[in-house]
């Protein structure tokens, strides 16, 4: 499971849950095996904080729906 927080700049996200603009304060949660793309706007840069976690506690939280809505297919 990965989280990415945009702290500066703008860009976008494309994935199984749809497309969305990203800017400061945007938080992206990506589950394992979920196809996705995110990045800064063309010709721009952004700042981000990134965290990747694994383990049984996060797997259990995901199965129980504690980490947000399930992706739409």
Q: Structural domain boundaries of the chain?
A: 2-63
Per-residue pLDDT, 46 = 93
CA dihedral 38, 72, 3, 13 (to 10 degrees): 20
- Cα 26-73-10 angle, rounded to 5 deg: 20
Residue 62 has pLDDT above 50, yes or no: yes
User: In this structure, is the dihedral angle defined by the CA atoms of residues 3, 38, 23 and 71, taken in order, positive or negative?
Assistant: negative
Of 5-9, 27-31, 47-51, least confident by mean pLDDT is 27-31
Residue 25 has pLDDT above 60, yes or no: yes
């Amino acid at each position: 499971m990965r989280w990415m927080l945009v702290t500066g700049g703008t860009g976008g996200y494309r994935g199984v849950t749809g497309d969305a603009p990203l800017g400061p304060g945007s938080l992206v949660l990506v589950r394992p095996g979920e196809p996705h793309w995110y990045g800064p706007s063309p010709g721009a840069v952004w700042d981000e904080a990134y965290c990747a976690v694994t383990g049984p506690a996060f797997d259990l939280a995901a199965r129980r729906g504690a980490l947000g809505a399930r992706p739409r297919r």
